[in-house]
Amino acid sequence: MLENTMSFLPLLDHPLKAVAFAILAVLTWLGWYPIRRWRYRSLPGPFGLPFLGNLPSLASGDATEFLNRCIAKYGNVTKIWFGTRPWVVVAEPSLVRVDFGTTDDDDPGQGGGGQGEAVGGKAGAGAAAQGGDAASAGRALMHACTAVFRCLQLENATVYLPLQLIFPSLRPIIRWLAAHLPDRAQADNMSARSAVASASRRLMEAWQESKAAAAAGAGEAQGPAAGGAGSVFRSVGGGISGSSFMAAMMEGRRGAGREERLSDIEVIAQGFTFLLAGFETTADTLALAAFLLATHPEAAARLQAEVEAMGAGELTAELLAQLPYTDAVLQETLRLYPPLPFLMREAREDVDMGEGRVAPKGSFLALQIHAMHTSPELFPHPDRFMPERWLPEGRAALGPADPHAYAPFGVGARMCVGYKLANMVAKAALVRTFARFDVSLHPRQPLPLRMRTGLSRVPADGVWVSLRDRRAGAPPATALATAAAPPPADS
């Protein structure tokens, strides 16, 4: 042993050789993380390249399908390498319902470094900060949210995102560079987030003005803050809807102690999360429901019959609750195409996955919802669109083998807080559409349907359908793109 060591020393007898050796050792450590790989040795999974891990496989196709293939090959608990950081992928219902911990603030799936700081740092800028009517404010928010989701697709992401994944130890430096030397994708993302932040500040200012006016004995607050002529926001109890999450946060901090009081930045961040969580996911679900109904006319006819039997009255929560087949259509759409195909958690302690498998404390846990939804062991005929599996007559034969196998909104204490509202909005949109139109697939629609996964899972080519108005004297069918996508070459 001593002789071997002594024979190695001449290789370092020159300073340049020693420096080169040190650089090689550092690069090997940064790209390989041998101790980290040793800690995850009990979990099976595909080989991860130095620095890149399994990013080439994730980026070359649909990331959801790649995770599904890993689960099919290695089992319901497996690992992949997201750059140099491992993800523990879980598709076991008994484990998905466990409260592992919170989502991680530094989750690389949430976008490039430095973007979080832009929410607070440039809240006074952005298109949404300017005046205008409610429609223009709504369009500004819509475009901003769309831009954020587009930037979070891997093919559109900032160059700082892969750098952050490959060199997690250098994350503070990379985030500083992203904030001060942004590339085009990073700049677009920061601008979009600033626009959302600006609209949030306007809401907060309107709420504060209305409360101040009420406290001064003005009764119904006058002017823009109260929703008068020219107001951007409709007055419901003063500037902001009293039942909204924004009002709840603003009211909550009025009586809270200084330590528990939400800052402006925290209120804006929470509002931004709600906007992102409810914007694209609901649009994706409606687009895919339209696609499935257009390709299954018997299901569309049954939904239309249920809607027509309801009558033409005002849509209320009570009325929407009396539409079991419409609800079943949405449930089946969310089973086949959950907008968030996996949910991220961070383990607060070592987690026993069974059979000698352990996810170390601090692990990223990807709860692979889509793999459970499409597992033949959990759902009969998993690839078929069968809304009847959610109705009393079909639940026993076609429903999930495990009650926790269906989780498009998560399960347990960390279930999505807005799932009831999301279902209500989607059902209302379906009811209004199918009460008036016949929906069929348009010739522009590429088949089979291709999907891609970024922050959410969306149709890669959009969804194209034709709408035929059933009213007397209505114009002929028109094409409608129900999901954002590049237009076909012939359009």
How far is the C-alpha of 274 from the C-alpha of 206, rounded, in Å? 19
From 129, 181, 98, select the one nearest 404 (Cα to Cα). 98
| ∠ Cα 93 335 442 (to 5°) | 160
State the DSSP string of 66-106.
HHHHHHHHH-SEEEEEETTEEEEEE--HHHHTS---PPPTT
How far is the C-alpha of 325 from the C-alpha of 466, rounded, in Å? 22
Query: Whats the size of the chain, residue-wise?
Result: 491
Q: Is 151 annotated as a binding residue?
A: no
From 468, 413, 404, 459, select the one nearest 93 (Cα to Cα). 404
For 466, the token pair is 């034709």
Helix (H, G, I), strand (E, B) or coil at 53: strand
The answer to whether 451 and 458 have CB atoms below 8 angstroms apart is yes
Q: How far is CA 189 from CA 116, 140, 159, 285, 323, in A?
A: 10, 14, 12, 24, 40
Give the type of residue at 433: T
How far is the C-alpha of 423 from the C-alpha of 429, rounded, in Å? 10
From 215, 423, 459, select the one nearest 320 (Cα to Cα). 423
For 476, the token pair is 């002929």
Give the type of residue at 411: V
Q: Where are the beta strands (DSSP E) in 218-308?
A: none
Contacts of 45 (CB under 8 A, 6+ apart): 70, 74, 78, 79, 80, 81, 89
Is 333 exposed, middle or buried (CB count within 10 Å of its CB: 0-12, 13-18, 19+)?
A: buried
The DSSP symbol for 490 reads: T
The answer to whether 339 and 329 have CB atoms below 8 angstroms apart is no
The answer to whether 139 and 217 have CB atoms below 8 angstroms apart is no
Q: How far is CA 115 from CA 156, 162, 385, in A?
A: 15, 14, 39
CB atoms within 10 A of CB 47: 7
Q: Known binding site: residues?
A: 416
Q: Known binding site for heme: residues?
A: 416
